[in-house]
Structure 1
Amino acid sequence: MHQVKGVVARAKGQPVELVTINVPDPGPGEALVQVQACGVCHTDLHYREGGINDDFPFLLGHEAAGVVEAVGPDVTGVAPGDFVILNWRAVCGECRACKRGDLQYCFNTHNATQKMTLEDGTELSPALGIGAFAEKTLVAAGQCTKVDPSARPAAVGLLGCGVMAGIGAAINTGAVTRGKSVAVIGCGGVGVAAIAGSALAGASPIIAVDIDAKKLEKAKAMGATHTVDSSSVDPVEEIKRICAETYDGADGADVVVEAVGRPETWKQAFYARDLAGTVVLVGVPTPDMKVPDLPLIDVFGRGGALKSSWYGDCLPTRDFPMLVDLYQQGRLDLDAFVTEEIGIGDIEAAFEKMHDGNVLRSVVIL
């Protein structure tokens, strides 16, 4: 048993606390990871606000990189000393999705079996099965993906959630390639990552849409060719205008990524795509939100595809090493997503900064 410091949300809407937690030694199929860096993701705030479920207390944190300290019996994929990025999709290899070769859609992803606890024995619910706002965490060994150990932990750890979700929404889910036009609605961390992924794939134009000028500037720095302030113009009409200027006869973007998770912006994405275009929902809605009222003839008549992107439809063992290699080659600027490095006691302040538009990611350094 290991006693370490961790950040816990005890109740809905209450400030997080830095407390001592108990982390078991790894059992069969498990790995103990010494966390080096962990990004502060909006999903952690969702947990604190009760927007995911009510299984309090939560051990927050999930966008993490670190070093494997120990593994349980029968673990062969990773070993002590390996530098890893943590993921929340340890695939089973046995379900119908895995058996047909679609491991990224595994229906039976799993986490560590043993529970981390408070000092009094109260079981903790780790965010996305990880719980990495802690000096050490216990995960399923399949949640550890080995990558180049010379990579900067604060940067590559962000592939554990938001950056991978955005890049994957564009490249994996939206099938963005050169010659395609892309619009991204919502330019927080995930949206800007979708822009970076679209640029990496050679798309043009790449249109960033937001109501915050500071976020639009960040989007432009990461590869957006055009920006649209949707507080002052109709984003649907502006996306259509830009695409028509680039491709004669275009009536919208080939791929529209919705990275907000609201019915209003999803409806904008629906109407901003070209005929036979694709809408990708990667923004996370709350349980009370409904699909907006749309004439069914519009759904039929426009053709194309309406998709949701879960973790960027990624397969960590395939995608993480590739993206880290691109980062190491200077072709994917993951450092640009790290706005600030903070201590483990500064997470509540980082939540507050999410609302001012100045921060893509605050990253906890342990």
Structure 2
Amino acid sequence: MSHEVSGVIAPGKGEPVRVETIVVPDPGPGEALVAVQACGVCHTDLHYREGGINNDFPFLLGHEAAGVVEAVGDGVTEVAPGDFVILNWRAVCGQCRACLRGRPWYCFNTHNAKQRMTLAATGQELSPALGIGAFAEKTLVAAGQCTKVDPAASPAVAGLLGCGVMAGIGAALNTGGVSRGDTVAVIGCGGVGDAAIVGSRLAGAAKIIAVDIDERKLVTAQRIGATHTVHSGEADVVEAVRELTGGFGADVVIEAVGRPETYRQAFYARDLAGTVVLVGVPTPEMKLELPLLDVFGRGGALKSSWYGDCLPSRDFPMLIDLYLQGRLDLGAFVTETIALDEVEQAFERMHGGNVLRSVVLF
């Protein structure tokens, strides 16, 4: 038996998204059918619409989601019907060289559902964003993409851990290893950068410097935990960060923009033997040039953060517990809740820098 539901598709490069009827199969072996309750509008969805990921149109957009498992296929033991889950886009295999070495957050063989969802009108196969496709009333995923969490959490905030918020918090806690008393600079204060600020605060950083060219974003960054701000359109970022850190630079600099010029700022704004974390996503044509002697002479670590180097089964329940204890304000990331047919307008507001997250509620 299959299910006909409404979903948001991107029909072609640069074309406005639209709501269509899609067909979702019953789960096969290793798969789960999830009734989506909420899904955040992430910049990655916009990248898909613009052809910035690949050209496998049409896409079924949406991936920052939470919902309830309706059915599971043969062999599924991770979740059961009725479980409240957050969806993730890196279902670990448990068998690759990273998993076998005890580093499943680097899994090199993550997987998605094998069956494809289709357009009801034509039967055309859809490409689900990040293997999820959650701008839909129901979606089909690999069971390993479902992480069971406390159902007391609001779906509107829980789903945000599925991508941007986890990427930022994880960039600070997991990749950057921010610890008590550290100085941290975060370059780029969108949703991911702000989450890195929150993660640094959770870790006990003594000083958190938010850097952005948009004054509105700096105000928000300070509200959620930044101790200092630098307007990159009015000050030399490297000099400003050094001035705020006793002339040394920050222990950890998190680059949440994904551009060569901001990465260079991050590289030179860190202290000797400090750490740079790249969590902003660059485009394929971007190139980086740095003097190799500076790379050698400054020491430390230059890291890239995949999904905040998170392990969903470990990190999602822990962060939801912190949220329910009042120690992690996930609600601060939700600017507005919208209906399924308002995703295109949410992309426009995202372009204008007017929202942290719009969240589709079902």
Match of 2:206 in 1: 204
Deviations 1:319-341 (A, max 9, x none): 00000000000000000000000
1:172-191 to structure 2, matched below 5 A, reads 172-191=174-193
For 2:254, which of 253, 257, 264 is the aligned residue? 257
Match of 1:70 in 2: 71
Residue 303 (structure 2) pairs with residue 307 (structure 1):
yes
Question: Could you tell me whether the CA contact under 8 Å between 1:215 and 1:358 is conserved in 2?
Answer: no
- Per-residue displacement from partner, 1:71-100 (whole Å, max 9, x unpaired)? 001111100000000000100000011011
CA distance in 1 between partners of 2:25 and 2:141 (Å): 10
SS at match of 2:253: strand
**Aligned partners of 1:17, 1:340: CA distance in 2, in Å?**
20
Equivalent AA in structure 1 for residue 151 of structure 2: P
Partner of residue 280, structure 1: 277
What is the aligned-residue identity percentage? 77
Instruction: Report the AA paired with residue 66 of structure 1.
Output: G
Map 1:274-353 → 2, pairs under 5 A: 274-291=271-288, 293-353=289-349
Match of 2:218 in 1: 216
Q: CA deviation at 1:173?
A: 0.2
SS of alignment partner, residue 187 of structure 1: coil
Match of 1:53 in 2: 54
- Counterpart amino acid of residue 69 in structure 1: E
Partner of 2:228: 226
Counting only pairs closer than 5 Å after superposition, residues 17-166 of structure 1 correspond to structure 2 as 17-119=18-120, 120-166=122-168
Letter in 2 for 1:294: L
TM-score (structure 1 length as normaliser): 0.98
In 2, distance between residues paired with 1:285 and 1:309? 12
Letter in 2 for 1:100: R
SS of residue in 1 equivalent to 2:351: coil
Relative to the length of structure 2, the TM-score reads 0.99
For 1:260 and 1:295, how far apart are their aligned partners in 2? 21
Report the alpha carbon displacement of residue 355 of structure 1 after superposing the two structures with TM: 2.2
Supply the distance in 1 between the matched residues of 2:252 and 2:306 (Cα, whole angstroms). Answer: 17
Give the root-mean-square deviation of aligned CA atoms: 0.6
Amino acid at match of 2:45: D
Paired letter, 1:9: A
Q: 3-state SS of the aligned residue for 1:354?
A: helix
Question: 2-side partners of 1:357 and 1:11: how far apart?
Answer: 24
Report the equivalent of 1:247.
none
Deviations 1:77-130 (A, max 9, x none): 100000000000100000011011100000000000000011211111000000
The runs of 5 or more residues in structure 2 that have no matched partner are none
CA deviation string 1:26-63 (max 9, x = no partner): 00000000000000000000000001111111000000
Of 245, 262, 266, the residue aligned with 2:263 is 266
Compute the displacement of 1:354 (Å): 0.8
Shift of 1:362: 0.1
Counterpart Cα distance in 1 of 2:101 and 2:208: 34
Unaligned ranges ≥5, structure 1: 245-249
After TM superposition, the runs of 4+ consecutive aligned structure 1 residues lying more than 6 A away are none
Following the alignment from structure 2 to structure 1, what is the Cα–Cα distance between the partners of residues 106 and 82? 29
C-alpha distance in structure 2 between counterparts of 1:68 and 1:269, whole Å = 42
Give, as a single letter, the amino acid of the residue that structure 1 aligns with 2:178. V
Query: What is the letter of the counterpart of residue 175 of structure 1?
Result: G
Report the Cα offset of residue 131 of structure 1: 0.2
Q: Which of the residues 229, 235, 238 maps onto 1:236?
A: 238
CA deviation vs aligned residue, 1:242-290 (integer Å, no higher than 9, x gap): 011xxxxx52001000000111100100000000011000001111111
Q: How many residues of Structure 1 are paired with residues of Structure 2 in the alignment?
A: 360
